[in-house]
Amino acid sequence: MVQIQVVEFNGAIHDVEALEGQTLLQATLDAGIDGFAAECGGCCVCATCHCMVQTEALHRLAPAASDEEQMLDFTAEPREPNSRLACQIKITPEHAGIQFFMPKRQY
C-alpha cells in the first residue's frame, strides 16, 4: 500500500491507500471520493480526470506521455504547470505522501 492524499476543491483532505501499480484515478474511485468524472474510463481521451500534483512533489512522477500531454490542453479548468490526468498516473512507492488536488470542475 502507498499512502497518498487527495484534496477536494472544497478543501476536504482524504487519506487514500493506493495499491502499487494502480492508477490515481482507480485508487480515488475505490476510496469513494467524488471529483473525477473519468468519462472515458481511463483511456486518456476525455480529460475529465484532471488533477494538480503537489508542486514540490512533481519531480517524483514519471513525465506525462505525449497522449496525456495533448489531452491536458482540453481540461475544463485551465491547465496548470502541475496539471496531470489521474488515469495516467501509476502509483509507485516513490509517491508516498504526495497530495493530489482536484479542480473545481471537470466539465
By CB under 6 A, name the binding residues for ligand FES. 25, 38-40, 42-49, 71, 85, 87
CB of 86 to ligand FES, least distance (A): 6
User: Biggest alpha carbon distance in the chain?
Assistant: 32
CB of 49 to ligand FES, least distance (A): 3
Which residue, 1 or 76, has its beta carbon nearer to ligand FES?
A: 76
CB of 48 to ligand FES, least distance (A): 6
Residue carrying C-alpha cell 482524504: 14
Which residue, 37 or 58, has its beta carbon nearer to ligand FES?
A: 37
Q: How far is CA 42 from CA 37, 50, 56, 57, 75, in A?
A: 10, 11, 26, 23, 14
Q: Which three three-digit cell numbers place residue 29?
A: 474511485
CB of 27 to ligand FES, least distance (A): 13
CA dist., res. 61 & res. 91, Å (int): 9
Which residue, 11 or 34, has its beta carbon nearer to ligand FES?
A: 34
CA dist., res. 83 & res. 86, Å (int): 9
